[in-house]
Amino acid sequence: MHSPVLAIRRTPLVAVYGTLKRGLRNHHWLEGATFVGADTLGDITLYDLGHCPGAKREPSRGIEVELYRVDARGLRHLDRLEDYRVRAPLTGTYDRVLHDTAFGPAWLYLYNPEVSGCPVIRTGGWPVS
């Protein structure tokens, strides 16, 4: 397990796929972060939870993500928003894992709870237009 300060030394990038994206309601949590670019990930699938999406590590036809460079403080804020628990990552709402992207390894929040019955998004992004 890594503290947010040690984790940020491994990578300063975060990949976001839901309400943290530009123009959406939680983007303000990325204040001070630098937009790096966009990528499409073929090994995550989104589940529409209604108020936000949750990602699971499952094959897809490509899920759109935005990548941001953050500092340790920014990562701690995101961990709080996503209910990521450093000492027990599988007990929070989201787990934070390293994921390969076109810009290098980035932190990605994976949804822990069960998603059966939720609409599946295997291509594109959230919100679904």
Instruction: Rounding to the nearest 10 degrees, give the CA dihedral for residues 27, 32, 34, 40.
Output: -30
Token digits of residue 44 = 């995550």
What distance in Å separates the CA atoms of residue 78 and residue 11, rounded to the nearest whole number? 15
Q: Which of 31, 64, 66, 82 is catalytic?
A: 82
Number of Cβ within 10 Å of residue 1's Cβ equals: 9
Q: For residue 82, indicate whether it is catalytic.
A: yes
Q: Is 120 helix (H, G, I), strand (E, B) or coil?
A: strand
Q: Catalytic residue positions?
A: 82
